């Protein structure tokens, strides 16, 4: 990546060739948000004054290995409201720069932490249950931290919970009950270990409550049957009565199952805030890709489990479906009298407000928005480009055959 500038909105789509940097961008966003959300807890754990520079750098080389940095220097800037964090590579080291607003926040939290710690010191020493006291201190700091963020940076506050759903999800499905080994494997990256924990939690919820009514249709569409659980064994019961264990499902179904397990166990009470999703289309037929995108956006619009969704994709079908939902949102806004007919075509909980959607292509190390500023829809020429290349090749072959004689 050479010159990339991406603004994250409630729905953000990145498309580009393999190796273009889509996953790296999302992992950077996840890393920074995760670090900011952890600040109050780190301050409480430290016995010395909190150092923001050391805190931001200490895990960076683990998440983004030095061997992948390349030869040149780089600059990464993360902005959240008025808060700005910059990481600058200078040869083999990383320099951190933060905005004055952010420094003021750190000073505020340091002072608040000291006050809370002092006021509870006697209680901690005398308490028969010091763990409870520590939890109370943490909650107090979290409240203080949240208020500071509200006042200094964002009108609606910061999301402190994220879930990252990586590509290669068939790994989780194929391991079945052994997926717990992934959570403890220090040789794996934090994203993989974290989602393994999410997946295990989702399976436990499904065992307790099953697949809810509003998710059963999309589940049946993708898996051609219903999920059944017999003791510790999960399988798909097909329409013709066959029982198919999860680890021998088709490649597309194995990719989709961990995502669907998470989606089917989200609710309004447990909001993950931000959801990063790599390649939802993996190994799925185009029609299924469109249905899956609708299910994801309906869950977001209904505030079931996450309020923002960031998708990376290679699929033109995902983009085409997104474009239809943007158009549905426009029709709903501009022509209220057509609302009834519109609902017959597209379910209303999938309609999108273009102001809350961003879509970018990553190509040749640069980013470019693919939303037409005049229409508010995805750029028509960009969408047509996927098929025009094949059409041009087809017509050349036809011309070659025509002139063969």
Residue 154 is predicted with a pLDDT of 47
Number of other residues whose CB lies within 10 A of the CB of residue 199: 24
- 149, part of any domain: yes
Q: Are 99 and 115 in contact (CB under 8 A)?
A: no
Under the banding of pLDDT at 50, 70 and 90, the label for residue 28 is very high
Under the banding of pLDDT at 50, 70 and 90, the label for residue 259 is very high
Range of the domain at 20: 11-160+270-315
| pLDDT above 90: residue 165 | yes
Q: Which of 1, 32, 4 is nearest to 19 (CA)?
A: 1
Taking the CA atoms of 263, 378, 323 and 390 in sequence, report the sign of the dihedral they define.
Answer: negative
- 209, part of any domain: no
- 123, part of any domain: yes
Reading the block at residue 95, the tokens are 């320099």
- 55, part of any domain: yes
> How far is it, in rounded angstroms, from Cα 215 to Cα 287?
17
What's the pTM value of the predicted model, to 2 decimals?
0.85
Q: What is the dihedral of CA 133, 134, 137, 139, to 10 degrees?
A: -100
- DSSP output for 77-113: EEEETTEEEEEEEETTEEEEEE-HHHHHHHHHHHHHH
- 125, part of any domain: yes
Mean pLDDT of 20-47: 83
Under the banding of pLDDT at 50, 70 and 90, the label for residue 360 is very high
- 200, part of any domain: no
Q: Are 289 and 314 in contact (CB under 8 A)?
A: no
β-pair partners for 90: 93
- 367, part of any domain: no
Report the number of distinct structural domains present in the chain: 1
pLDDT digits (tens, 9 = 90+) for 127-163: 555 555 555 655 665 565 665 555 544 444 454 578 9
Q: Which residue would you say has higher pLDDT here, 339 or 266?
A: 339
Taking the CA atoms of 64, 65, 66 and 70 in sequence, report the sign of the dihedral they define.
Answer: negative
| pLDDT above 60: residue 30 | yes
Residue 116 is predicted with a pLDDT of 63
- 51, part of any domain: yes
| pLDDT above 80: residue 75 | yes
- Cα angle: 99, vertex 69, 36; to 5 degrees: 30
Phi, psi dihedrals of residue 189, rounded to the nearest 5°:
-70, 160
């Amino acid at each position: 990546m050479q010159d990339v500038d991406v603004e994250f909105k409630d729905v953000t789509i990145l498309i580009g060739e393999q190796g273009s940097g889509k996953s790296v961008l999302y992992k950077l966003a996840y890393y920074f948000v995760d670090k900011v959300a952890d600040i109050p807890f780190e301050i409480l754990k430290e016995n010395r004054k909190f150092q923001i520079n050391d805190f931001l750098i200490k895990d960076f080389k683990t998440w983004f290995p030095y061997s992948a940095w390349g030869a040149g220097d780089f600059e990464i800037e993360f902005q959240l409201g008025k808060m700005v964090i910059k990481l600058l590579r200078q040869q083999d080291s990383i320099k951190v720069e933060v905005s004055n607003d952010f420094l003021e926040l750190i000073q505020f939290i340091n002072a608040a932490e000291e006050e809370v710690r002092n006021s509870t010191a006697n209680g901690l020493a005398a308490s028969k249950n010091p763990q409870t006291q520590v939890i109370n201190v943490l909650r107090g700091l979290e409240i203080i931290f949240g208020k500071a963020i509200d006042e200094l940076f964002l009108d609606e506050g910061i999301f402190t919970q994220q879930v990252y759903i990586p590509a290669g999800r068939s790994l989780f499905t194929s391991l079945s009950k052994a997926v717990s080994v992934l959570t403890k494997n220090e040789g794996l990256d934090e994203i993989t270990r974290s989602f393994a924990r999410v997946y295990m939690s989702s399976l436990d919820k499904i065992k307790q409550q099953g697949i809810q009514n509003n998710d059963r249709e999309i589940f049946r569409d993708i898996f051609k049957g219903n999920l059944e659980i017999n003791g510790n064994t999960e399988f798909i019961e097909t329409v013709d009565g066959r029982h198919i264990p999860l680890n021998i499902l088709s490649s597309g179904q194995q990719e989709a199952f961990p995502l669907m397990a998470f989606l089917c166990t989200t609710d309004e009470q447990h909001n993950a805030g931000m959801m990063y999703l790599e390649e939802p289309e993996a190994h799925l037929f185009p029609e299924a890709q469109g249905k899956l995108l609708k299910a994801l956006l309906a869950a977001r619009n209904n505030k079931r489990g996450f309020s923002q969704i960031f998708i990376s994709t290679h699929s033109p079908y995902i983009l085409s479906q997104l474009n239809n939902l943007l158009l549905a949102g426009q029709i709903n806004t501009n022509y209220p009298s057509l609302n009834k007919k519109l609902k017959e075509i597209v379910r209303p909980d999938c309609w999108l407000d273009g102001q809350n959607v961003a879509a970018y292509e990553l190509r040749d190390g640069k980013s470019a928005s693919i939303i037409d500023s005049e229409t508010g829809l995805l750029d028509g020429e960009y969408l047509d480009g996927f098929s025009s290349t094949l059409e041009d090749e087809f017509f050349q072959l036809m011309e070659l055959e025509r002139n063969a004689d």
